[in-house]
Structure 1
Amino acid sequence: MAQFDLKDHSHRRYNPLTGEWIQVSPHRSKRPWQGQVEKTGGAELLAFDPACYLCPGNVRANGEVNPTYTSTYAFTNDFAALVEDVPAGEFRDSDLLLAKSEAGICRVICFSPRHDLTVAEMDAAGIRSVIDLWIEEYNQLGKNKNIQYIQIFENKGAVMGCSNPHPHGQIWAQQSIPAEPAKKQQHQLDYFKRKGVTLLADYQVLEQKHQERIVFENDHFIVVVPFWAVWPFETMIVPKRAMARITEMTEAERNAFADAYRRMAARYDNLFEVSFPYSAGIHQAPSDGEAHAEWHWHMVFYPPLLRSATVKKFMVGYEMLANPQRDITPEFSADRLRSLSDTHFKQHIVSEIPKP
């Protein structure tokens, strides 16, 4: 019998952060990269859109007027999924029907006054302003004794449910720890108790050793396609120094984080030469006043595009009923992303236009 090979044989991979498994079937894609680049001809956006409720000076749906902001801007979501004035209580019928009230705060974070930009096309200084605002918001929300977890995230692209192309993200702060961070909380704590070091600190050592899944790195962060990645071109930004929360970053680390965020977003756009959709977010320690030495914060990117701008991955059939599955391996995805430029493809196009 042939010797087992990750590149050729069906197998399951374990995610130590969540305790879950993913099915990998590399034999289904002996030629996973067909080379096609099917571009989607999206309409060119204006730098300022008078109909956009996120642009500076425009009126929002609730009648409030945005300030004429010149960098970043944050406000409480006009249609928030979580609100503060929810009466405490629960519904229970036996051990099977249970509901509990959940209060919280939802904030919208405008990354730039420019309607036509995305993170991939912003400069590192502009992204650094976003990171500074995230930290400011985290500090303010964390002072609320009713807030136990703060989820920072960005949805990019209509396919990811983003209803407005203006560059923005959200922060949901709530009473309880959501499911995904809760799983990571438990597994990181278990690992730290056994090893005395964070799970992601040890994981970095392994990735540095193998050099198969690292997309790029700078002085303070590595960007890697996780060994257990579910989405075709899923990546994770991990600080080289173990920190429980983004509030612990030094000035140099904040700059390096902005650099990594920009470079990764640009590579995504360069992959199929489109504005690449994704959901991205930061997982970090609960805001419960505890130190949480077991936590090693990280940012994850979950993009749906598979082979081109028009071929997407969906969770269907086996994946909805059993567990996630992928054909192209994380190693292949990392190699493909690693081969791309950090310079956005639109800049290449502009530089190639002959001057009159």
Structure 2
Amino acid sequence: MTRLTSTRLADGRELIYFDDPGSPERDPGSLVDHRDLPPRADPGELRYDALSGEWVAVAAHRQSRTHLPPADQCPICPTTPANPSEIPAPDYDVVVFENRFPSLGPAVGSTPDAPAWGTSGPAFGRCEVVSFTPKHTGSFAELGETRARTVIEAWAQRTEALSALPGVRQVFPFENRGAEIGVTLHHPHGQIYAYPYVTPRAASLGAEAGKHFDDSRGRESLTSSILKAELQDGRRMVLEAEHFSAYVPFAARWPLEVHLVPHRQVPDLAALTGAERDELAHVYLDLLKRLDALYPTPTPYISAWHQAPLDPALRESGHLHLQLTSPRRAADKLKYLAGSEAAMGAFINDTTPESVAARLRSVAGASTRAGKTTTGIPEGASA
């Protein structure tokens, strides 16, 4: 089993080592941060946008955060005498720690009640960094299945822990990969945000999910219904395994977009069984490798885990799923959000979901499922 070891950095931030199964016991010296760090700043500010009914975080202190440092100054590489980094150990497997320059937190609490124009409050919440590997170069797709499984265990454990914090209403693990996406560190890593409010996208998805759940009298989630329809159609399926299936959605917004869905309705990563987490490590790596196989150079992407918010009204109908998107529409072209998308939220896709799914099926061998192989297209479905 994955072993967890918690410690505190010099300024009081929590850091947790997640060691692969079979790893040796952690040296106590790897738990001590010898740096002289200044005290942590107070939270930034949340301001209420009365026009949209949405919260906006104001985090001016993030202007001074580290931006694309050289490899020998990377803050999430293992500590060396020349580079005392955020991670005190000379080596590690997976590490999660509180962000030194958070958009939310470090204090936790609730947003103001009955907000209106001019309402503001502390930017409560938690922002954490998840380092996938001690290696400065590479990507998640290059991890072995054992390490990927350790990352999944970290996501699940942190989802459960952060969900229990006062005022937290939604937990969001994600990864930004590639300079084109706007990463500030090249080292393979992701983040986890614990929001004190339900984000606009989660609220919108939750409203539609709730309607379907009520209409079906609680017998079926909207995500389950969509997966069933995609499996029947078959043209947009990418892969099908025992516990998970992946497809390009019928109304994909991005040039590259894949949804990875557990067959069983669960609200979040913490609710997955051991067998489901084992398979997830395999199929998630498969998807990322397919994405990178489309072009001669690595594909930038955003990997977003949509977990059910903690609001009971949204949680009952929630269904965990991954949304993997990339703005890459050709080997040398990116999609930028222009007027229609950025101002109106009305997306225009330059690719067809069916052609993207076909390409993703073609760049990898058949997937193994229960002793047989499947390309992700159900037998008898149209290709």
Fold shared per TM-score above 0.5 = yes
Q: Residue deviations 1:207-256, cap 9 Å, x none?
A: 11111111112111111111111111111110111111111111110011
For 2:148, the aligned partner's letter is I
Of 198, 201, 214, the match for 1:180: 201
Q: Is the 8 A contact 1:92 1:99 kept in 2?
A: no
> 1:307: which partner in 2?
330
With a CA cutoff of 8 Å and minimum separation of 6, indicate the structure with the bigger relative contact order: 1
Task: Establish whether residue 51 from structure 1 lines up as the match of residue 64 from structure 2.
Answer: no
Percentage of matched positions with identical amino acids: 29
Q: Give me the TM-score of the superposition, normalised by structure 1.
A: 0.76
> 1:111: which partner in 2?
132
Find the residue that maps to 1:272 and give its secondary structure: coil
> 2:290: which partner in 1?
267
Find the residue that maps to 1:208 and give its secondary structure: helix
**1:308-327 paired onto structure 2 within 5 Å:** 308=331, 310-322=332-344, 323-327=346-350
> 1:216: which partner in 2?
239
Of 145, 152, 155, the match for 1:124: 145
Deviation at 1:287, TM superposition (A): 3.2
Identify the range of structure 1 (120-129 vs 71-80) with the bigger mean alpha-carbon deviation: 120-129
Sort the Cα spacing of 1:61 and 1:219 in 2 relative to 1 into closer, same or farther, 3 A: same
> 2:306: which partner in 1?
283
Sort the Cα spacing of 1:301 and 1:58 in 2 relative to 1 into closer, same or farther, 3 A: farther
Sort the Cα spacing of 1:89 and 1:194 in 2 relative to 1 into closer, same or farther, 3 A: closer
> 2:160: which partner in 1?
139
* Counterparts of 1:89 and 1:258, CA distance in 2: 36
Task: Establish whether residue 160 from structure 1 lines up as the match of residue 181 from structure 2.
Answer: yes
Deviation at 1:179, TM superposition (A): 0.9
* Counterparts of 2:289 and 2:353, CA distance in 1: 19
Q: Give me the TM-score of the superposition, normalised by structure 2.
A: 0.71
* Counterparts of 1:244 and 1:90, CA distance in 2: 26
Gaps of 5+ in 1: 1-47, 344-356
Identify the range of structure 1 (59-68 vs 286-295) with the bigger mean alpha-carbon deviation: 59-68
Deviation at 1:102, TM superposition (A): 3.1
Q: Residue deviations 1:288-325, cap 9 Å, x none?
A: 578933111101012011011x2111111333344110
> 1:230: which partner in 2?
253
Of 267, 279, 284, the match for 1:256: 279
Q: Residue deviations 1:176-199, cap 9 Å, x none?
A: 111111111111111101112100
Q: Is the 8 A contact 1:142 1:287 kept in 2?
A: yes
Q: Residue deviations 1:309-343, cap 9 Å, x none?
A: x2111111333344110132111111111111269
Gaps of 5+ in 2: 1-69, 367-383
* Counterparts of 2:246 and 2:261, CA distance in 1: 6
Of 334, 339, 346, the match for 2:362: 339
* Counterparts of 2:82 and 2:201, CA distance in 1: 32
Sort the Cα spacing of 1:288 and 1:144 in 2 relative to 1 into closer, same or farther, 3 A: farther
Q: Is the 8 A contact 2:109 2:196 kept in 1?
A: no
> 1:18: which partner in 2?
none
Find the residue that maps to 1:153 and give its secondary structure: strand
Task: Establish whether residue 68 from structure 1 lines up as the match of residue 95 from structure 2.
Answer: no
For 1:180, the aligned partner's letter is R
> 1:27: which partner in 2?
none
Of 231, 239, 245, the match for 2:262: 239
Sort the Cα spacing of 1:188 and 1:59 in 2 relative to 1 into closer, same or farther, 3 A: farther
> 2:40: which partner in 1?
none
What RMSD in Å do the two structures reach over aligned CA positions?
2.7
Give aligned pairs, total. Answer: 294
